């Protein structure tokens, strides 16, 4: 069980956010996130929206249909989340 899950319970949005935090600096596609998290494609798309709206995640379009997602590590809120996650993982990690 992840440290975020221990504190906040298992939600699709936290699952996706944690996946992206574990895979920083990597290009993540919607289908890859779905596969990596065990969530449905539509669930991943739905929970990414607030992260995109709040500039935590950046979307880049590749061609007409491919979308890639990365954490916006330049954004102060993302930096705070990453620091919190890393500190929490040290305290409560498996």
Whether residue 93 lies inside any domain: the answer is no
Residue 94 has pLDDT above 70, yes or no: no
Query: How does residue 69 score in pLDDT terms, banded at 50, 70 and 90?
Result: very high
pLDDT of residue 24: 86
Tokens 């919190």 identify what position? 84
Query: How does residue 74 score in pLDDT terms, banded at 50, 70 and 90?
Result: very high
Query: What are the tens digits of pLDDT across the range 3-62?
Result: 777 777 778 999 999 999 999 878 899 999 999 999 999 999 999 999 999 999 999 988
Name the residue range of residue 52's domain: 3-86
Q: Taking CA 37 as the corner, what is the angle to CA 34 and CA 39, rounded to the nearest 5 degrees?
A: 55
Question: What's the CATH number where 46 sits?
Answer: 1.10.10.10
pTM of the model: 0.86
Cα first-last separation, the chain: 7
* Number of structural domains in the chain: 1
Whether residue 92 lies inside any domain: the answer is no
């Amino acid at each position: 069980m992840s440290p975020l899950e221990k504190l906040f319970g298992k939600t699709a949005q936290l699952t996706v956010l944690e996946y992206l935090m574990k895979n920083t600096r990597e290009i993540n596609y919607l289908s890859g996130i779905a596969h990596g998290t065990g969530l449905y494609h539509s669930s991943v798309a739905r929970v990414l929206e607030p992260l995109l709206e709040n500039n935590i995640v950046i979307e880049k379009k590749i061609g007409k249909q491919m979308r890639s997602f990365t954490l916006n590590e330049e954004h102060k809120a993302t930096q705070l989340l990453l620091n919190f996650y890393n500190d929490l993982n040290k305290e409560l990690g498996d």
